[in-house]
A and B are shown apart, each in its own frame.
Chain A
Amino acid sequence: MSPVGRDPEVFPPYLYDAYRATIRRSPAQPPLEITPTLSELTGPGPALSAVIPEDADLTRNAGTGGEAIGERIIVTGRVLAAGGVPVPRTLVEIWQCNAAGRYRHRVDQHHAPLDPNFIGIGRCLTDADGVYRFTTIKPGAYPWQNHENAWRPAHIHFSLFGPSWIARLITQMYFPGDPLQALDPIFNSVPNPNARARLVAAYAHDVTQAGWALGYRFDIVLRGPAATPFEPFERAARAGR
């Protein structure tokens, strides 16, 4: 089995000057290709399943009994392996700032109000068809220090483990029609424009609930072996004989 490897069209380079923090944090040496072994073809994903349904509703999970302020939205989509196979019962973690553009985090000094009824943390498992679903509020844009008059476009952070260690993905979901995307070096660090566009959720009227919340669809495709996770190791094992 040949190494899987990061596709340089899809995955951002580690050094991307316009995003200044990459300049001293990106490795100077190219990463070393290795053949995935049992260590990389396994992973913690299947063992991480400790969630409760309340974790998936960020408008109500602050534990205050109150509801978050903001435009209520539903974010849903499918988690797929590279081969197109749905990844069932896998952990999806999200975090985000509130509707005013403020994170509940000690480092965030943006002069915008905190919402006592919003912690900005959600997690859920995908169902048997690989579908996840969150109820939350639309996050605000916020300023940052990267360059003059820099603003992050509205985004939700996603973290997934998927079926294998190779499949690990940390990314950000953006909203359609946001003019700040074109100005954002983190978003623009994805080299291929089609790949970049895959980070933008689609407004989904079929997900929108009348009188309640707007719907967005955001599918996630994880890297790693395209076949079922059982085959590659056995193939690698045979190839080694």
Chain B
Amino acid sequence: MTPRRLTPSQTIGPFFHGMIAGAANVLVAEATEGERIRIEGRVYDGDHAPVPDALVEIWQANARGRYRHPVDRRPIPLDPAFVGFGRAATDETGLYWFETIKPGPVPFTAERRQAPHLNVAVSARGLLDHLFTRIYLESEPANAEDPVLQRVPAPRRDTLIARRAAGAGRAVYRFDIVLQGEQETVFFDL
């Protein structure tokens, strides 16, 4: 096949709310296997002002670490009650949230694992292409060995780690996304 020339990206603009498949920020059903977690946070711009018109999308493995995708052919069961895709628009305070499960570990290479993580894409007015990042979970021992986190300069690693909220009575993780400036989130070139 002849390689084709890629289609450029353009901003999602300010008018996507309700336009693309609805608020899918609850990824779990009653039958979903795994430890329930809530991920919430705000998206901020370079003035640390909340971004009220961002779209945050997540993609993750199920509780056993299997992706619902034909490339992932490992003999690990799929969960019929879990897809692993979520989509949330920020509100006027820049807040987004997801109700999901803690993903299992997934391979990096055949012999090396990645720590549990959620893959994130952020789109907004003023972003001419989406931004890729990842959410890791605080207190995961596997974070120390994670090959992608190890690629990140140590002073910036914290921007990829969601903090367990104290006293919430359940697993609530806080993950702010800073588009620019102090504590700027690490984004990936993929």
Seen from chain A, the residues whose Cβ lies within 8 Å of a Cβ on chain B are: 3-7, 10-14, 16, 19, 21-34, 36-44, 46-48, 50, 80, 82-85, 93, 95, 97, 103, 105-108, 120-121, 123, 157, 159, 164-166, 168-172, 186-187, 189-190, 194-196, 198-199, 219-223, 226, 229-230, 233, 236-241
B184 within 8 A of A: yes
Q: A6–B4 contact, CB under 8 A? A: no
Q: A240–B111 contact, CB under 8 A? A: yes
Secondary structure type dominating chain A contacts: loop
Which of B106, B119, B121, B128 is within 8 Å of A13, CB to CB?
Answer: B128
Residues of chain B with a CB closer than 8 A to A120's CB: 19
Q: B71–A164 contact, CB under 8 A? A: yes
- Tell me the smallest distance from the CB of B127 to a CB of chain A, in Å: 6
Given known contacts A33-B189, A121-B19, what 9 new A-B pairs fall within 8 Å (CB)?
A: A10-B8, A24-B45, A24-B180, A27-B184, A27-B185, A39-B59, A39-B134, A42-B67, A198-B7
Q: Which residue among B6, B46, B57 has the maximum number of chain A CB atoms within 10 Å of its CB?
A: B6
A120 to B125, CA, bound (A): 18
- 12 A-B residue pairs with Cβ-Cβ distance under 8 Å, sorted by A, are A21-B125, A22-B126, A38-B106, A39-B117, A44-B59, A105-B17, A157-B19, A171-B10, A187-B10, A190-B10, A230-B70, A237-B110
- Tell me the smallest distance from the CB of A119 to a CB of chain B, in Å: 9
A237 to B109, CA, bound (A): 4
B14 within 8 A of A: yes
Seen from chain B, the residues whose Cβ lies within 8 Å of a Cβ on chain A are: 1-21, 45-47, 49, 51, 53, 57, 59, 61, 67-72, 83-85, 106-112, 114, 117, 119, 121, 123-132, 134, 147-148, 151-152, 156, 179-181, 184-190
Which of A4, A14, A105, A168 is within 8 Å of B128, CB to CB?
Answer: A14
Q: B59–A170 contact, CB under 8 A? A: no
- Tell me the smallest distance from the CB of B52 to a CB of chain A, in Å: 9
Instruction: Give me the 9 closest cross-chain CB pairs, A-B, nearest first.
Output: A240-B109, A21-B126, A44-B85, A95-B19, A42-B69, A84-B1, A25-B126, A12-B128, A31-B189
